[in-house]
Chain A
Amino acid sequence: MPPESSGTLHRREVVSTLLSGRGELVVIAGLGAPAWDITAVGDHPRNLPLWGGMGSAAMIGLGLALAQPSLPVLVITGDGEMLMGIGALATIAVARPLNLSVVVLDNEHYGETGMQPTHTGAGVNLAGMAEAAGIPRVLSIRREDEVAPLRAAIHEKSGPLFAQVKIDAETLKLVLPPREGALLQARMRESILGLEAHLA
């Protein structure tokens, strides 16, 4: 029996819409499928797809958002990765960076390890947890027509914003980004800071 999710949205279509007309947008993607998803749209110097550090994606977004308050910063991650670093929601709510958005693609499963169910399929409500942590803008998204407004909200820099997007539990073809971490870091720094980044 294929894994079932309460969501029906298609992850790659959601991510493609979120990254359309991206402008200055800087993107951190949690390890696994979210990293493949952002790469499927097209590899980019302002993408940092993670290969490890499970549970850290939202906090990386926070550090970056605080360092570059004029840039919109988007974290795209999965429900399993978010659950592992769930305390970050409290830390982000207290730090309150206007320019940070955290989008969880929630398929209610651990996709990279054999589609074992996560807690979000058993009643744990990530959007509710974000709201209870004090994140000021929280969205729970299940319909296709709600995705473009989310894309617009990410660029408004009036967050911090948290969105839980319920997606289908489909398994898609891997689209791998570069896996040399020093390159991924250096190219993003150069894109944001210019060549001087390498002389810091």
Chain B
Amino acid sequence: MDVAPSDTATWPDALFDLLKAHQVRQVAFVPDAGHSRLIRRCQADPSIKAISLTTEEEGMGLLLGAWLGGERGVLLMQSSGVGNCINMLSLSILHRTPMPMLVTMRGDFGEFNPAQVPMGNATQAVLEAMGTLVRRADHAEDIVPTADATLRLAFNTFRPTATLIGQRVLGAKTFGKE
């Protein structure tokens, strides 16, 4: 099993449709294999500004700026990137800025790489400690409804929210060792 969703998985395209339905105009990301198809779809859509970041915390600033200018944004990242965002989550709390995050999990379910485990294990606790409403999706059929709830909570109640897409859905990268 690889970490990119298989070609037959429908949820990455459904997530793209969801972003469109919520009129998301700015999609910030640091790439993750689990988000690869969603990122490609966003890059191909002229009504979406797909912004590649050097570090995930840049995305929090971008989302605040987007909202100041009347646009909705979303941040796509891997669980390790959540650790880079901790202090920047204060922007969302202070200014009451919608900051929805779609997080693909590593170090979560059958992980191979020991370096992914500390942050993966702490992702939910860290987000919640900073006031983020966190919901998990551990089955493919839960991803879109959970992400929908995460986007609604952010845009309707003005706060940081996150869907964690479990490694159980994504699969664990094995670096050629089965």
Chain B residues within 8 Å of A, Cβ to Cβ: 25-26, 49, 51-55, 57-71, 73, 87-88, 90-91, 94-97, 155
Report chain B residues within 8 Å CB of A181. Answer: 91, 94-96
Report chain B residues within 8 Å CB of A94. Answer: 52
Q: Which A residue sits closest to B62, measured CB to CB?
A: A63
Report chain A residues within 8 Å CB of B71. Answer: 63, 66-67
Q: Which B residue sits closest to A197, measured CB to CB?
A: B70
The residue that A185 contacts in the complex, of B53, B59, B95, with Cβ under 8 A, is B95
Tell me whether A200 and B70 are in contact in the complex, defined as CB-CB below 8 angstroms, given that A56-B57, A62-B62, A85-B61 are known contacts.
yes
Report chain A residues within 8 Å CB of B62. Answer: 59-60, 62-63
Report yes or no: A67 in contact with B57, Cβ–Cβ below 8 A. no
Report yes or no: A60 in contact with B55, Cβ–Cβ below 8 A. no
Q: In the complex, what distance in Å separates the CA atom of A58 from the CA atom of B60?
A: 11
13 contacts between A and B (CB under 8 A): A52-B94, A53-B88, A60-B62, A64-B69, A66-B65, A67-B26, A85-B58, A87-B58, A91-B52, A91-B53, A181-B94, A181-B95, A189-B70
The residue that B67 contacts in the complex, of A28, A55, A87, A185, with Cβ under 8 A, is A185
Report chain A residues within 8 Å CB of B63. Answer: 63
Distance in angstroms from A100 CB to nearest chain B CB is: 10
Tell me whether A66 and B61 are in contact in the complex, defined as CB-CB below 8 angstroms, given that A91-B51, A185-B96 are known contacts.
no
Q: Which B residue sits closest to A181, measured CB to CB?
A: B94
Q: Which A residue sits closest to B54, measured CB to CB?
A: A87
Q: Which B residue sits closest to A185, measured CB to CB?
A: B95
- Confirm or deny: A83 has a beta carbon within 8 angstroms of a beta carbon on chain B: no
Q: Which B residue sits closest to A97, measured CB to CB?
A: B49
Report yes or no: A57 in contact with B25, Cβ–Cβ below 8 A. no
The residue that A58 contacts in the complex, of B61, B88, B96, with Cβ under 8 A, is B61
Report chain B residues within 8 Å CB of A88. Answer: 54, 58, 61
Q: In the complex, what distance in Å separates the CA atom of A193 from the CA atom of B68?
A: 9
Q: In the complex, what distance in Å separates the CA atom of A48 from the CA atom of B61?
A: 12
- Confirm or deny: A184 has a beta carbon within 8 angstroms of a beta carbon on chain B: yes
Report yes or no: B65 in contact with A60, Cβ–Cβ below 8 A. yes
Report yes or no: A53 in contact with B60, Cβ–Cβ below 8 A. yes
Q: In the complex, what distance in Å separates the CA atom of A130 from the CA atom of B41?
A: 30
Report chain B residues within 8 Å CB of A87. Answer: 53-55, 58
Distance in angstroms from B17 CB to nearest chain A CB is: 21
The residue that B69 contacts in the complex, of A51, A66, A90, A184, with Cβ under 8 A, is A66
Closest 7 CB pairs of A and B: A63-B65, A67-B69, A59-B61, A87-B54, A56-B61, A181-B94, A64-B65
Q: In the complex, what distance in Å separates the CA atom of A37 from the CA atom of B65?
A: 21
- Confirm or deny: A172 has a beta carbon within 8 angstroms of a beta carbon on chain B: no
Report yes or no: A62 in contact with B65, Cβ–Cβ below 8 A. yes
Of the listed residues B63, B90, B94, B95, the one surrounded by the most CB atoms of chain A closer than 10 A to its CB is B95
Report yes or no: A64 in contact with B68, Cβ–Cβ below 8 A. yes
Q: Which B residue sits closest to A191, measured CB to CB?
A: B68
Report yes or no: A63 in contact with B95, Cβ–Cβ below 8 A. no
